[in-house]
Amino acid sequence: MRDATRVIKAGLPAPAQGEPFLPGPTFASKFFLEGEPSSSPYTYGRNGNPTWTRFERALTDLEGGPALVYASGMAAVNAVWADTLLRTSSPRVLAMPSDGYNLARRVAREFYAPLGVQVRMAPTADPKFADLFEGATLVWLESPSNPMLDVCDLAPMIAEAHRRGALVAVDNTTATVLAQRPLELGADFSVASDSKALCGHSDLILGHVAVRDPQRAARLKRGRDEQGSIAGPMEVWLAHRSLATMDVRLERASANALAIARFLRTRSEIRQVRYPGLPNDPSYPIASRQMRRFGPIVSFELADRATAERFLHACHLVLTATSFGGIHTTAERRGRWAGEFLPEGFIRLSAGCESAEDLVEDIDVALTAATEGGR
Ligand SMILES: *Cc1c(COP(=O)(O)O)cnc(C)c1O
C-alpha cells in the first residue's frame, strides 16, 4: 500500500455496520472493571485508552515498530533519554548535533549534564560528527537539521554508531515518517513532535516514539503510564483525524516550499537560500536519495535584523509565528529566540497549503517593501 492510502486507513477498526470509520474520542479516567484487572484492556485512564490504541496502531503501521504517544514532542525526547541514559551505571554519554533543535540541546545541557551525562556536540554536516560516537550510550541524530537544513546520511551513520556500541535515536520531526523511516534505516528509536506536520493544523501539542525492540517499547510504555507524561484523548483523536490528510498536505507544502525557494533564489537581496529539494543545495545529493519528500521548511537570510522584521511585517499571507509544518504558511526571524546563534537576518519559513502563486506574490511584494523601506 502507498503512503497516501496508508495514512487514510492507518489505525482504523474494521468497518462495522452503522459505526463511524474513526470512532470519536473516549473520555474516561476509569473504565468499568470487575474481578481480575488483566481481563480488561482498559482499567484506569493513565494506563490506556482506546483512542490512544487506535492512533498508536496507525503510527506503528507507518513507522514499522511499536509506537507510543506522548503529551508533547519533548516528553517523547525525554522518555528516550531517561530510558537510555539514566538507567545505566556505566558512563552516560549523549552524542548529538550542535545545530539540532535548540530546546533539545538546552535540556541536554541543563537537565541531563547535571545528572552525570556527558553531552557531546558537533554540527550535523561535519565529517567529524561520527568521532563523537566512541563510547557513547546514545547517539541522537536529526536530519534535516532545524533550522539550517543540513542533512546526514542516516543509514551509514546509524551503522557506525552501532559498530561503536551506541544506541541510536533519530528526531524525525522535520522530515516526518512519510519522508523517511528511521527504523528501516537501522535506528533503535524514531522520535517526533506531532505538533508539527503530522497534526498540521496548528491546534495541538503531541509527540511519539517508535521503537525497534518490543521489550524496550514495553518498558517505555510502563515508564510513560507510571510517570504520567500521557496525552489527552482529544488531542490524540484530532491527530489521528489529521493524519489522514498528511500525505496530501505534505505534497502541497513541499511543492509550495520548492516554488518559494526557487523564487527566493532569483532575488538579489537574499543572501542564502536553503532548501534540501533545490538541486544545487548542499543537502540535495543525500536528501534526494534519503527523503521521499523535501518538506515545508525553507530558510534564507536577509541583510540584517531590520530588513527581516520589515519583510515579516509586510507579508499578509505569510503569518509571523514560530514552529512549522502547518497548513498556514508561517515565518519568523529565528534569531529572536535565546540560544539560537544565527545571523540576525535569518528567516525560517514553513510553507503551508495555500496557492503557490499567491504565496510567491505576497513574498515578492513584501521583499520589495522591506528593501525599499530601508533606503
Ligand atoms: C518541535 C520540536 C520538538 C519538540 O516538540 P513539542 O511537541 O513542541 O514538544 C522536538 N524536536 C524537533 C526537531 C522539533 O521541531
- What's the CA-to-centroid distance between 195 and ligand 1, angstroms? 7
Residue 318 burial (CB count, 10 A): 25
Residue 109 burial (CB count, 10 A): 14
- What's the CA-to-centroid distance between 262 and ligand 1, angstroms? 27
Look up the CATH architecture of domain 3-243.
3-Layer(aba) Sandwich (3.40)
Where in the chain are the domains?
Answer: 3-243, 246-372
Q: State in Å, rounded, how far the first CA of the chain is from the last one.
A: 56
- What's the CA-to-centroid distance between 70 and ligand 1, angstroms? 12
Q: Which atom of ligand 1 is nearest to the CA of 194?
A: 7
- What's the CA-to-centroid distance between 192 and ligand 1, angstroms? 7
Q: Is 90 exceeded by the pLDDT of residue 125?
A: no
Contact partners, residue 280, CB within 8 Å, separation at least 6: none
- What's the CA-to-centroid distance between 183 and ligand 1, angstroms? 19
- What's the CA-to-centroid distance between 74 and ligand 1, angstroms? 6
For ligand 1, atom 5, the nearest C-alpha belongs to: 73
pLDDT digits over 153-206, tens only? 999 999 999 999 999 999 999 999 999 999 999 999 999 999 999 999 999 999
pLDDT score for 223: 96
| Site to substitute for ligand 1 among 150, 177, 195, 204, most atoms within 8 A of C-beta | 195
Confidence (pTM): 0.96
- Asked whether the beta carbons of 184 and 291 are under 8 A apart, the reply is no
pLDDT digits over 4-43, tens only? 999 999 999 999 999 999 999 999 999 999 999 999 999 9
pLDDT digits over 53-99, tens only? 999 999 999 999 999 999 999 999 999 999 999 988 889 999 999 99
- Asked whether the beta carbons of 208 and 72 are under 8 A apart, the reply is no
Kindly state the average pLDDT of the residues 246-251: 98
Contact partners, residue 362, CB within 8 Å, separation at least 6: 315, 316, 317, 318
* 230: its cell numbers: 500521557
246-372: which CATH topology? Answer: Aspartate Aminotransferase, domain 1 (3.90.1150)
Euclidean distance between CA atoms 124 and 330, whole angstroms? 25
Task: Cell 513541499: give the residue.
Answer: 254
| Site to substitute for ligand 1 among 78, 96, 99, 101, most atoms within 8 A of C-beta | 101
Please classify residue 259 by burial: count the beta carbons closer than 10 Å to its beta carbon, then call 0-12 exposed, 13-18 middle and 19+ buried: middle
Ligand 1 is surrounded, with C-beta below 6 A, by 72-74, 77, 101, 104, 142, 146, 171, 173-174, 193, 195-196, 205, 207
Contact partners, residue 346, CB within 8 Å, separation at least 6: 147, 299, 300, 301, 308, 333, 334, 335
* 258: its cell numbers: 520548492
Q: Which atom of ligand 1 is nearest to the CA of 77?
A: 10
Q: Which atom of ligand 1 is nearest to the CA of 195?
A: 7
Query: Residue 96: which H helix or E strand, with range?
Result: strand 92-97
* 78: its cell numbers: 525525554
Q: How confident is the model at residue 375 (pLDDT cuts 50, 70, 90)?
A: low
Q: How confident is the model at residue 341 (pLDDT cuts 50, 70, 90)?
A: confident
Could you check whether the bond before residue 147 is cis, i.e. omega within 30 degrees of 0? yes
- What's the CA-to-centroid distance between 194 and ligand 1, angstroms? 8
Order of strands across the sheet that contains 207-211 = 67-70, 207-211, 189-193, 167-171, 138-142, 92-97, 117-122
For ligand 1, atom 7, the nearest C-alpha belongs to: 73
